[in-house]
Amino acid sequence: MKYTKTKAVLNQLVADLSQMSMIIHQTHWYMRGPNFLKLHPLMDEFMEEIDSQLDVISERLIALDGSPYSTLKEMAENTKIQDWPGEWDKTTPERLAHLVDGYRYLEDLYQHGIEVSDVEKDFSTQDIFIGLKTAIEKKIWMIQAELGSAPEIDE
């Protein structure tokens, strides 16, 4: 099969972007405290961006004759992003740090996709991976700045 490893990365991203969207939803729903009025609507923007990435990734997988995961069960069984129970015991900074963890994982997965698609010479998918990784790196930097952490992408 053509682009076998690239398609595997794409489908992993389908599961992980779906999970990340849910984690952002949870952050949105369980947010309290300082900066609520600023951060709560910002989570809507974060979800839209991740959902847009999910659509691009899924459609690229289909264009390569792949079959994206499409059930909650498949997403849950295949994601590698850790979730938390929906409880009130986490602060907003803790939840934002959890988002950074998820974004860092996605950054690494996009990098892996860049490398795999290079080997398989699927430069169109590689271009997608590069663009989406760049967006994830910006998100990491922005959240780290909100948390008062060093602005470096790789910390």
Total-model pTM: 0.94
| pLDDT bucket at 154, cuts 50 / 70 / 90 | low
| pLDDT bucket at 151, cuts 50 / 70 / 90 | low
pLDDT digits (tens, 9 = 90+) for 85-96: 988 999 999 999
pLDDT at residue 153 tops 60 = no
pLDDT digits (tens, 9 = 90+) for 18-74: 999 999 999 999 999 989 999 999 999 999 999 999 999 999 999 999 999 999 999
Confidence at residue 97, expressed as pLDDT on a 0 to 100 scale: 95
Cα Rg for the chain, rounded, in angstroms?
Answer: 16
pLDDT at residue 1 tops 70 = no
| pLDDT bucket at 152, cuts 50 / 70 / 90 | low
| Domains of the chain by start residue, with CATH | 4-146 (1.20.1260.10)
Q: Which distant-in-sequence residues (6+ apart) come within 8 Å of 69 by Cβ?
A: 11, 14, 15, 18, 75, 78
Confidence at residue 34, expressed as pLDDT on a 0 to 100 scale: 87
Sign of the CA dihedral running 18, 60, 9, 78: positive
108: its two tokens: 């690494």
Contact between 90 and 54 under an 8 Å Cβ cutoff? The reply is no
32: its two tokens: 């309290």
Overall average pLDDT of the 117-135 stretch: 98
30: its two tokens: 């369980």
